[in-house]
Amino acid sequence: MKTPDDALQRISYLKTDRGEIPVYASGIVEQDESAYTKTDHQVWQQLYQRQRALLPGRACDEFLNGLEALNLGPDRIPSFAETNVLLHRQTGWRLVAVNGLLPDLRFFELLASKQFPVTWWIRKPAEIDYISEPDLFHDFFGHVPLLANPVFGDYLQAYGAGGVKAAGLDALAYLARLYWYTVEFGLIQTKAGLRIYGAGILSSKGESVYSLDSKAPNRIGFELQRLMQTRYRIDSYQQSYFVINSFQQLFEATAPDFTPVYQQLADRPTLAARAITDSDLVLQRGTGEGFAELGDV
């Protein structure tokens, strides 16, 4: 059910422990709304309803407000064009449809110009609980609501601009860790308690509960350099989560030029996903129960 030129667009593969994930050429495609089947819309509905029911008291208010502001409901797969009218009016961001993962530089260029790539196809019913590639449910439900928040949107744009600037600097691992532990798996401390803002968590039934309630993982206060040293897991729930106090904190940490940070980091060791260091602001020291020893990337 991918586009006819899917095979032509595929330029390489990303190796993961679950096999290879295709990476596509820069190609922005059209969302062909008529291509979705009844089953596709049902998959969206089932996933939407399941997540939406879990999220009060778990997702941050900015995310829930974004779902509402962008009129994102369970009925059918949302239209990129319709969402773009509302989204662009609010923060200047636009969604572009893609076949899947893009090359890093292309991805950074899009973010720097306030364009967010969203995979246009949705998983099959057999993959409802887990799919190794990002699909429309992850990209749209997980990421898009926060693009309606101006401060988060500014952070993501600054991240993209930093990525473009880092091209050729051997800094990709640091940028990938930053994205992973904030945009994908970030937690935020609020007056009402700990909340989720990371899209990888918000699009996962199991991790939406685990990330907040489990005693196994560490929960550590956000510190840019510490986080950039930390390897991560792509094959299981996270062993550490980093907690911000506000989106403003995230924006301020990343708005300055990262280049000097990379130089400092080059002399420091990487840290295991499960590590705790003496200088960490430890909010919760995880028990590590059930963690596999090996497998950080």
Q: Name, in order, each residue with C-beta under 8 angstroms of 98's C-beta and a sequence gap of 6 or more.
A: 24, 27, 28, 29, 117, 118, 119, 120
Q: Nearer to ligand HBI by C-beta: 21 or 128?
A: 21
Q: Least distance (Å) from Fe ion to the CB of residue 147?
A: 12
Name the nearest CA neighbour of 67 among 249, 246, 55: 55
228 binds ligand HBI (CB under 6 A): no
227 binds ligand HBI (CB under 6 A): no
Q: Nearer to Fe ion by C-beta: 136 or 261?
A: 136
d(CA 12, CA 10): 6
Binding segment (CB under 6 A) for ligand HBI, from list 78-86, 174-182, 241-249, 283-291: 174-182
Q: Least distance (Å) from ligand HBI to the CB of residue 133?
A: 10
Binding segment (CB under 5 A) for Fe ion, from list 18-26, 199-207, 232-240, 250-258: 199-207
Instruction: Residue 160: name its binding partner from Fe ion, ligand HBI, none (Cβ under 5 to 8 Å by kind).
Output: none
Name the nearest CA neighbour of 238 among 282, 277, 204: 204
Q: Nearer to ligand HBI by C-beta: 175 or 188?
A: 175
Binding segment (CB under 6 A) for ligand HBI, from list 77-85, 95-103, 146-154, 221-229: 95-103
DSSP assignment of 192-227: TEEEE--HHHHT-HHHHHHHHH-SSSEEEE--HHHH
Name the nearest CA neighbour of 205 among 138, 145, 146: 138
Residue of the chain from 87, 101, 187, 261 that contacts ligand HBI (CB under 6 A): 101
175 binds ligand HBI (CB under 6 A): yes
d(CA 263, CA 174): 11
Q: Least distance (Å) from ligand HBI to the CB of residue 282?
A: 26
Q: Nearer to Fe ion by C-beta: 144 or 275?
A: 144
Q: Nearer to Fe ion by C-beta: 203 or 240?
A: 203
Beta pairing partners, 14: 21
According to DSSP, the β-strands at 193-196 and 282-284 are unpaired
d(CA 182, CA 231): 13
Q: Nearer to ligand HBI by C-beta: 43 or 136?
A: 136
Which bin fits 232, alpha (ψ -120 to 50), beta or left (φ > 0)? beta
DSSP assignment of 68-101: HHTT--SSSPPPHHHHHHHHHHHHS-EEEEESSB
Q: Nearer to Fe ion by C-beta: 116 or 247?
A: 116
CB burial readout 24-48, b (16+ within 10 A) else e: beebebebeeeebeeebeebbeebb
Binding segment (CB under 6 A) for ligand HBI, from list 75-83, 94-102, 221-229, 286-294: 94-102
6 binds ligand HBI (CB under 6 A): no
Instruction: Residue 252: name its binding partner from Fe ion, ligand HBI, none (Cβ under 5 to 8 Å by kind).
Output: none
Q: Nearer to ligand HBI by C-beta: 194 or 196?
A: 196
Which parts of this chain interact with ligand HBI (CB under 6 A)?
Answer: 98, 101-102, 104, 107, 117, 134, 175-176, 179
The residues binding Fe ion (CB under 5 A) are 199
